Amino acid sequence: MTSSSTEGTQWRASGNYGPKLASKSSLLEESRLLLEAYAQSGDIDAACQALVNGVLPQRSRETRATIVQILRTRLLRWNPPTWVLTNLAAFAQATSSDAFHLAMLLHIARQDLLLYDFVQQVVVPRWYAGTTNMMRSDVQGFLDAVQEDHPEVNGWSHTTREKVSQNVLTVLRDCKLLKGKVKKQIVLPVVPVPVVHHLIRLLQAEGIAPEQIAQHPDWRLWLWDMTQAQKALDSYLKQEHMI
Is a pLDDT exceeding 50 seen at residue 180? Answer: yes
Confidence band for 5, pLDDT divided at 50, 70 and 90: low
pLDDT digits (tens, 9 = 90+) for 118-127: 999 999 999 9
Confidence of residue 8 (pLDDT cuts 50, 70, 90): confident
pLDDT digits (tens, 9 = 90+) for 77-109: 999 999 999 999 999 998 888 999 999 999 999
DSSP bridge partners of 161: none
Q: What is the pTM of this model?
A: 0.93
The whole-angstrom separation of Cα 176 and Cα 173 is 5
Residue 57 has, within 13 A of its CA and on its CB side, a CA count of 6
What local confidence, expressed as pLDDT, does residue 1 receive?
A: 44
Alpha helix ranges (H) inside 184-225: 193-206
For the chain, percent helix, then strand, then coil, each to nearest 5? Answer: 65, 5, 30
